[in-house]
Structure 1
Amino acid sequence: MSNFQREGSIRKVLPVERNEDLLQETRENDIQKLYKTYKQEYVILAEYKMVQNENVPGVYVIPSKESSLLWFGVVFVRNGHYKDGVFRFNIFLDENFPDSEHPKVIFYSKLFHPVINPETNELNLLKAFPKWCKASQHIWQVVKFIQWIFYDMDKSVEHAVNLEAAEMFKNDTENFQKLAAEIVKESKNRLYDEPPVDDEHYLKFEPYVPDIHDKVRSEMINGQFETKYSKKGLSWVLPGSKKALTRPPTPPVEESEL
């Protein structure tokens, strides 16, 4: 049997300098990704702070514990065709937010409304936010728009995506009101449903329990329940203008305030 002697290696060995260059490049890429993530988290935290400061009546949102790109929301409608309705929705932020298109708003259940897509339950934001500009547009404005569609139906019809709902609202108000009332009833029946996701920040509701809630209710009625928020909402229209979303953006949030 002849002797077999291997010369060299069957593997391609990179020079030490090349290996170090690759490691350095990998480290730099990791640092850039980490910096981008931290920066985005800070921006989203500032956006949430602005939502709290605006205190839009009847609308509540909170970022998911699992992902800050997903926000849970609920709107309580106090007047209009959908009075007493409680409608859940999600706000989805793009992975490149705020350097991206406008957020997406999708309602949990079917909602017969001119500006809500009947197939996807997505709210049409294109008229309000044709092109998302991070310098002048913010999530609080999206939240305000969600509130607005339930109170200014005449204007919302102008940019309808559900043509059947728009047509019925304009020409058959009686039947539209009946259908809206059914939707409101269904929303209240599902108020205490089990959460569809396992997330500690999902907005959950429980029936009124006198032993637990009477004391808090009494404190609120007697003015003993402290709150830092103003009872008066803030306008989203620039004084002297009739165009929506023209009010200057809320001043930047200082890091010390977060």
Structure 2
Amino acid sequence: MYGSASPVKGLHNQNGNFQRTGSIRKVIPSDTSKEIISEKQNETVDKLYKTYRQEYVILAEYEMVQLENITGVYVIPSKESSVVWFGVIFVRSGFYEDGVFRFTILLNEEFPDAGHPKVIFHSHIFHPVIEAQSRELYLLKAFPKWNKAEQHLWQVLKYIQWIFYNVECSIEHTINEEAAEMFKNDLAQFKSKCLESVKSASEHLYDLPPTEDPHYITFEPYDPEVHDKVRESMLTVKESKPSKRGLSWVLPGSYKPLTRPATPPSESEL
């Protein structure tokens, strides 16, 4: 009427006493579920930290671009991805005069802890520093090593501006040997090629955008009924009082937070 006990391995020693050599205790595995959850939480937190940090750095980079106010160059980050920037340059003189060239800046997913950004022009441009097939701007001569503490995106935009106005100097950075040799040996033919680049970009200026991203830079033919009012408002200078609110931002060229002193009161308020 009693339940039988589980057998226990054993043997008798020389004194006849029973000596256990086994155990009825089961080895209970450790609870790894908490460890797995903890690891996943750490991964999530780490991913969020990297994302927020990257967004902050990119925002700071964009602010520095605005502070530099690079003539004729305009950029805006994509709405869909902050590591994609849409840009356009208006060339006002030189070999590429009247050229309107769109480009895209592609940042590495690990930016700013990775290598060079990429600059891809949307139309073919005959230039010593622009690769003929890929339309990619060659950056390795201007920025041999991308150092996040020293290099910034506004410098890349300055370089884009510089190559169109300083073709002769840019030959030292050549990636397109045909363009470089033609500039040296047949300047008239080189000018003709530049005009072709300007014309080609102009012919596609009003093309439908290749993406649905609302931040993609588009152009429309001038319509007096629509654009005259906008033009008039842009030319009208309105007097506005300076803001008395300070701004919390970063020092130009760095990521160090600071608080700008409040705007001094106007003379009427003294």
Q: Which TM-score tier does this pair reach, normalised by the shorter chain? A: 0.7 to 0.9
Letter in 2 for 1:202: Y
When normalised by structure 1's length, the TM-score is 0.81
**1:163 — aligned with what?**
177
Note the C-alpha offset of 1:220: 3.8
CA distance in 1, matches of 2:82, 2:188: 42
**Is 2:149 the counterpart of 1:135?**
yes
CA distance in 1, matches of 2:129, 2:103: 14
**2:97 — aligned with what?**
83
Contact 1:136 1:249 in 2 (8 A): no
Give the 5 Å matches for 1:153-232: 153-224=167-238
Note the C-alpha offset of 1:18: 1.1
CA distance in 1, matches of 2:213, 2:154: 22
**1:101 — aligned with what?**
115
SS of the residue 1:115 aligns to: coil
Letter in 2 for 1:250: G
Contact 1:115 1:123 in 2 (8 A): yes
CA distance in 1, matches of 2:152, 2:193: 33
SS of the residue 1:42 aligns to: helix
How well do the aligned residues superpose, as a CA RMSD in angstroms? 2.2
Note the C-alpha offset of 1:225: 9.3
Counting aligned pairs with the same residue, the percent is 57
Note the C-alpha offset of 1:255: 7.4
Note the C-alpha offset of 1:216: 3.1
Which blocks of at least 5 consecutive residues in structure 2 are unaligned? Answer: 1-27, 243-250, 261-270
Note the C-alpha offset of 1:127: 1.1
| TM-superposition CA deviations, 1:35-77 (whole Å, max 9, x none) | 1111101111111111111111111111111111111111110
**Is 2:50 the counterpart of 1:36?**
yes
**1:250 — aligned with what?**
253
Structure of greater Rg: 2
Contact 1:71 1:91 in 2 (8 A): yes
Distance of aligned partners of 1:253 and 1:148 in 2 relative to their CA distance in 1, 3 Å threshold: farther
Letter in 2 for 1:86: V
CA distance in 2, matches of 1:195, 1:185: 19
Note the C-alpha offset of 1:15: 4.3
Contact 2:119 2:137 in 1 (8 A): yes
CA distance in 2, matches of 1:133, 1:117: 23
Note the C-alpha offset of 1:17: 2.4
SS of the residue 1:17 aligns to: coil
Which blocks of at least 5 consecutive residues in structure 1 are unaligned? Answer: 1-13, 229-247
When normalised by structure 2's length, the TM-score is 0.77
Contact 2:142 2:173 in 1 (8 A): no
Contact 1:46 1:253 in 2 (8 A): no
| TM-superposition CA deviations, 1:125-182 (whole Å, max 9, x none) | 0111111111111000001111111001111111101000001111111111111112
**Is 2:127 the counterpart of 1:113?**
yes
CA distance in 2, matches of 1:225, 1:136: 38
Contact 1:62 1:201 in 2 (8 A): yes
SS of the residue 2:31 aligns to: helix
CA distance in 2, matches of 1:146, 1:20: 53
Distance of aligned partners of 1:201 and 1:256 in 2 relative to their CA distance in 1, 3 Å threshold: farther
Letter in 1 for 2:53: K
Q: How many residues align?
A: 224
CA distance in 2, matches of 1:104, 1:33: 24
**2:36 — aligned with what?**
22
Letter in 2 for 1:57: T
**Is 2:147 the counterpart of 1:144?**
no
| Higher relative contact order (Cα pairs below 8 Å, separated by 6+ residues) | 1
Distance of aligned partners of 1:253 and 1:203 in 2 relative to their CA distance in 1, 3 Å threshold: farther
CA distance in 1, matches of 2:117, 2:239: 34
Letter in 1 for 2:173: H
